[in-house]
Chain A
Amino acid sequence: MSRFKNREHSIEIISYYTGYIVLIVASTMIIPIITSLLFREWNPLLDFIISGGISLIVGAILIIIGMRAKESKSTVQWKHGFAIAALAWIILMILCAIPYRLSGNTKSFLDACFDVMSGFTTTGLALTQDLDHLSNGLNMWRHMLTFIGGQGMVVLALTFLAKEIGGAYKMYVGEGKDIELVPNVKGTARHIWKISMVYLIIGTIALWIAGMAIGLKPVSALLHAFYIFASSWSTGGFAPNTQNIMYYHSVLYETIAMVIFILGSFNFGLHYAIWQGKRREIIKNIEAQSFLLHPL
């Protein structure tokens, strides 16, 4: 009987935290919704509102199922942490694929799921049809997925924790991360996002200027700058055009993308150390050394 109770309790813990991660990641759909609104793309706007609504309902149901675990202040064990990370990835794959399918740019829901997982894992393969004529909203969503995936969905969710919870580290490790910038996971997650956001601004501005220099219109150049930054920083391969980076035909644009690619491939621990004033780390770090030795 107690074994059955234990199992039920585990399900509640997993459900609560999975719901929490789903809610946080699903709420980022607000960005493609705003993009669609700005560009007056009504069909994509509706797709994202429907998908966002479904995601919020799923997240809320999972949280309600696991509410008892929250109230009893149960501790998250290692097995829960792994299950939460794995479940969140699978559920989010399905939920994030809904706007792809509704847009009609994928041949099946499975293709849409493939594209989302390709984004989350920063693989960069795409099964989406007619890439050159995608709506700005969907393009924004594709590249946001690859950007979020680069940092990790659990990392994103942990950034919004009001206070440090005991099981945060177990969920964090469950997603395959083990780097500790500061002693607590919430702080580490926030630092990871801070580094990413600072480079997001620098990289997007650099690519925006380069985009305008090669003849793109300012608004289009800004969108392309964000898209290329998101894929480069996460070392993914998404691009808003079928020709990928070749579309721009510019050494400057490619060089900036390369700089972002290399910066993005560095460990967050290395970024953090350099930002903290340990500048010799860029020579001493094994990743940086192997980077330097490889072309030789």
Chain B
Amino acid sequence: MVIRKSEIIGIVAELIAVALYIALIYAATAIIMR
């Protein structure tokens, strides 16, 4: 199983996107619950 450089960038991009999405939900929840 070979993992190319573009795939590593893709994985990082996906992880960042999902982490940002969860941060958005946490932030929205924090604002609503305040």
Contacts and interface: CB of A to CB of B under 8 A. Distances in A.
Interface of A: 194, 197-199, 202, 255, 258-259, 262-263, 266, 271, 274-277, 279, 282, 288, 291-292, 295
Contacts of A197: 1
B contact face: mostly helix, strand, loop, or mixed: helix
Given A198-B11, A276-B10, A282-B17, A258 B1 contact: no
A148 B7 CA distance: 23
Contacts of A279: 9-10, 13
A194 B1 contact: yes
B17 to A, nearest CB: 5
A127 to B, nearest CB: 32
A291 B21 contact: yes
B11 A282 contact: no
Given A198-B3, A275-B7, A282 B13 contact: yes
A29 to B, nearest CB: 23
B1 A295 contact: no
Contacts of A295: 24-25, 28
B21 A262 contact: yes
Contacts of B18: 259, 262-263
A122 B7 CA distance: 27
Nearest to A199: B11
Q: Chain B interface residue count: which class?
A: 10 to 19
Contacts of A194: 1
Contact of B22 (A199, A255, A274, A276): A255
B19 A274 contact: no
Given A259-B22, A277-B10, 15 more contacts: A194-B1, A198-B3, A202-B15, A258-B22, A259-B15, A259-B19, A262-B18, A263-B15, A266-B14, A271-B10, A274-B10, A275-B10, A277-B9, A279-B9, A282-B14
B21 A292 contact: yes
B14 to A, nearest CB: 6
B1 A276 contact: no
A205 B27 CA distance: 26
**Nearest 9 A-B pairs (CB), nearest first?**
A275-B10, A274-B10, A275-B7, A277-B6, A262-B18, A259-B18, A282-B17, A279-B13, A295-B25
A254 to B, nearest CB: 10
Nearest to A274: B10
Nearest to B2: A194
